[in-house]
Amino acid sequence: MHEGYAPQHHRTGTRTLFVPYCLRHTYCTDLQQKGVHLKTASYLMGHTDISVTANIYTHITEDTLLEAARLIGCGHVHSPVQPL
């Protein structure tokens, strides 16, 4: 999983249970980082509403911010992304 990204998980008593569903966030964020178009990612995720993909399943990472800065020619970016 990505550094600085903690997926939602289920708590059962004192144990944390990670289920395959938790990996959907990582998968979708990986698609975003690889440059997969949001509409394509939405289709691959099985979402009928692209806003679900955009607002819930994709996450901004430091790498995403650095790549955006590189694309627009900005030399230095202060990252507001805080590790979870």
DSSP state of 31: H
On whether the pTM is more than 0.85, the answer is no
Burial class (CB in 10 A: 0-12, 13-18, 19+), 43: middle
d(CA 53, CA 39): 9
Structural contact between residues 5 and 59, judged by C-beta atoms closer than 8 angstroms: yes
The encoded tokens of residue 57 equal 């399943």
d(CA 33, CA 51): 18
pLDDT for res 4: 44
d(CA 70, CA 57): 24
pLDDT digits (tens, 9 = 90+) for 31-74: 999 999 999 999 999 999 999 999 999 988 888 888 888 889 88
